[in-house]
Amino acid sequence: MLRLRNNLKLSRQISTNFDKFESDFHKNHIPINDFQRGLLAMGSALMSLVDPFRHDMIACLGETAGMSAITYMKQKMESSPEGAEILKSRPRINSKTVDLNKLRTFPEGTLGRVYVKWLDDNNVTPDSRMAVQFVDDIDCAYVLQRYREAHDLFHAVLEMPTNMLGEVTVKWYEAIQTRLPMCIGAAIFGPIRLKPKHRNLYKKYYLPWAIETANSSNFLLNTFFEKRWEQPLAELHQELNIKPFILPQTRS
């Protein structure tokens, strides 16, 4: 009887998530033709290079020039039982769907505690991710939305801060795993903004680790984070084949 109630509760939750994203998709979706898509792709690419902090342009680039990558990500999720479950239930990651105060009560070292501590330490909110607008296929739109909302979790799982060095490292990981054009662009051009000392650390330690880890670890977007809040991060690292980054002691 308890199992039946739990299954019914889960079924209702999946239905609610599915309907909610479908509603949001139709509310935010902006249909465009191929010519408009090309113009937006070129314009957003140029603006992203001029001003890497134009998150709206970076988001636009991902939607207008990233369909091949989004399709690849969708296929990776469909090939995984956990990824397929995410696609079926379409969970969202924001302050309305995730009880951040509850995560703060979890034991040290658990995924939930690590995630909320990362948010607090970096003064970041999970509500800052833009809605997908220019992707016509609803399933592909969800995949990209999921990536955006899971980006902070990528940082937390990889234990990387939001400074330029941490962002570039995560972007290399994401570029290899997702093939998204804005991640590739940020990974290639982001290091230009690093100071000489950080650039040396990046070339010697951070970049090799990011490339090796991205290629050897499981597809991170297949992780149903919401069902793993209480899992120790060390255990999750082992499961996903992620070797934590440790910066060797260097002389100043």
- Cβ-contact 107, 41 below 8 angstroms: no
Helix 2-28, helix 81-89: angle, nearest 10: 70
151 appears as a binding residue in the annotation: yes
The sign of the CA dihedral 22, 27, 30, 31 is: positive
The annotation status of 155 as a binding-site residue, yes or no, is: yes
Owner of token pair 């801060």: 161
Separation in Å, CA 208 to CA 26, 214, 247: 42, 10, 12
Question: Which letter does DSSP use for residue 108 in this model?
Answer: T
- 29 among the known binding-site residues? no
26 is in an annotated binding site: no
Residue 232, φ and ψ in degrees, nearest 5 = -60, 135
Pick out the residues of the known binding site for Zn(2+): 151-152, 155, 167
Pick out the residues of the known binding site: 151-152, 155, 167
